[in-house]
Amino acid sequence: MSDRALILLLSFVVTIGSVATNLYIPALPAVREHFDASVAEVQTTFSVALLTFAVGMLFWGPYADRYGRRAALFGGIALMTVGSLACLAAPNLGWLVLGRAVSAFGTAAGLAVSRTIVSDVFPTRMAPMLAQLAIVSVVASASAPVVGGLLTSQFGWRSVFGALIVFGVAIAWLVHRHLPETRPVAHAPPAVREMARVARSLLSKPLYLSCVVQSSAAYSMFVVFISLAPYVMVTALGHSATEYGLYYPLISVGYVAGNWALNRFSGRGQQWLIGFGVALQFVAAVAALAFVAAGLTHPLWIFGPMGVLYFGQGLFMPHLTAIAVSQAPAHATGVGSSTLGFLNQLVSALCVQAMGVFGANSALPMLTFAVGAALFQWLVLRWSPAMQAAERGH
């Protein structure tokens, strides 16, 4: 299989989690109405899924190191299908939370294992290859909110989970037919105790920890925004779930453009790209908050600056991921990827549930959170001598 074909295939594999999330998000207001629940209660279907996704990230990477990349993907897709079936038949909100939790645990395999395969095949070109992977996968998942909004409007929120089952079966067929096993055969599979030791040693490295903290702050901005924006669109701005799906591609376009710029301006150096992206992210978050605070309520005043914010994230997120995973030994790159993903998802889940308390009668809380998280990441980068030392070492 050529490099281009492999990246294209992995782009669809890595979208398992994002498609599952983005299809469901436009249905959140309908789920709230169906079960006559509060925003905070319905947010548990999102935040609990993020928590189990986090645990899945911690599980599937080491599993792939020990039993192979293909076995991990098939196991994850099977659990995603079981969870989606449970959601499809959910008689109450608690059952829906359980189904979402099982499904999210399974979908974590897509992200964890795809990153690991990239590190297997492209160890010296991981950042640009992750950027290429993100370009295709973001474009593929950008249509999910549109499809989710249309399905919810035409057939009800349960139809979203029927679509997920079909998607999972299609991905499983592609993996079965076309994805080779890439786990290095030169190394014996690491034991559980060894994997735990690697994870502890990674968290003791300042460079790895800096990447974890920064990427967690950035990812939290993303999930808080996409989980609350549908409520804001319907409750505060008076628009439909379908319209949310139509504005969401602005975010995807921003991230894709950032990934393209990462490759275009790679000559400026890793540190410059990360620093510029983080600064741009902060400026965009401040602009969105200022527009809303000034009384500008058209969705473009929110989604426009957020598209710029995700352009900044497209510049630095592949580098942060590549730097973090490269700190793990060659026989346990899955552990490095999983530990990073677990902490990203854990922090994001806590932030999503906490922000649900503020409700969605205004866009101000979620945009205030974005400004605070962007400022926090900028300070971490500013105070991270390990990151600067790594760039000087390159």
pTM beyond 0.75, yes or no: no
**Whether the Cβ atoms of residue 108 and residue 88 lie closer than 8 Å to each other:** no
How buried is 205 (Cβ within 10 angstroms: 0-12 exposed, 13-18 middle, 19+ buried)? middle
Query: Mean pLDDT over residues 69-85, rounded?
Result: 94
**Whether the Cβ atoms of residue 207 and residue 388 lie closer than 8 Å to each other:** no
Domain ranges in the chain are 3-179+191-393
Digit-coded pLDDT (tens) for 85-120: 999 999 999 999 999 999 999 999 988 888 788 878
Please determine, for residue 383, whether its predicted confidence score (pLDDT) is greater than 90.
Answer: no
Q: Which 8-state DSSP code applies to residue 330?
A: G
Digit-coded pLDDT (tens) for 149-167: 889 888 999 999 999 999 9
Q: Which 8-state DSSP code applies to residue 295?
A: T
Q: What is the DSSP string of 114-134?
A: HHHHHHHH-TTSHHHHHHHHH
> Can you give the pLDDT at residue 394?
46
Helix H or strand E segment including 223: helix 206-231
Q: What count of Cα atoms within 13 Å lies in the side-chain half-sphere of residue 185?
A: 2
**Whether the Cβ atoms of residue 252 and residue 334 lie closer than 8 Å to each other:** no
Q: How far apart are CA 318 and CA 337, in angstroms?
A: 12
Please determine, for residue 177, whether its predicted confidence score (pLDDT) is greater than 50.
Answer: yes
Q: What topology is assigned to 3-179+191-393 in CATH?
A: Growth Hormone; Chain: A; (1.20.1250)
Task: Return mean pLDDT, the chain.
Answer: 84
Q: How far apart are CA 29 and CA 97, in angstroms?
A: 15
- Residue whose C-alpha is closest to residue 366's, from 161, 172, 228, 203: 228
> What is the pLDDT confidence band of residue 391, given thresholds at 50, 70 and 90?
very low
Q: How far apart are CA 323 and CA 339, in angstroms?
A: 13
Q: Which 8-state DSSP code applies to residue 181?
A: P
Q: What separation in angstroms does the CA of 117 have from each of 143, 182, 234, 347?
A: 25, 6, 40, 25
121-147 core/surface letters (b: 16 or more CB in 10 A; e: else): bbeeebbbbbbbbbbbbbbbbbbbbbb
Residue 318, SS3 per DSSP: helix
Digit-coded pLDDT (tens) for 35-57: 998 877 888 898 889 889 888 88
Give every CB contact of residue 204 below 8 A, 6+ residues apart in sequence.
none
Q: Which two tokens stand for residue 317?
A: 């997120």
**Whether the Cβ atoms of residue 183 and residue 120 lie closer than 8 Å to each other:** yes
Query: Mean pLDDT over residues 238-262, rounded?
Result: 79
* Better pLDDT: 280 or 113: 280
Q: What angle do CA 333, 277, 113 make, to 5 degrees?
A: 20
> Can you give the pLDDT at residue 84?
95
> Can you give the pLDDT at residue 9?
87
User: 């602005």: which residue's tokens?
Assistant: 250
Q: Which two tokens stand for residue 93?
A: 């909100």
> Can you give the pLDDT at residue 361?
77
User: 């599952």: which residue's tokens?
Assistant: 20
Q: How far apart are CA 30 and CA 282, in angstroms?
A: 33
> What is the pLDDT confidence band of residue 385, given thresholds at 50, 70 and 90?
low
In the chain, how many H helices and how many E strands?
A: 16, 0
Most confident of 87-96, 228-237, 251-260: 87-96
Query: Mean pLDDT over residues 121-127, rounded?
Result: 77
Please determine, for residue 141, whether its predicted confidence score (pLDDT) is greater than 70.
Answer: no
Digit-coded pLDDT (tens) for 281-322: 999 999 999 999 998 888 889 999 999 999 999 899 988 988
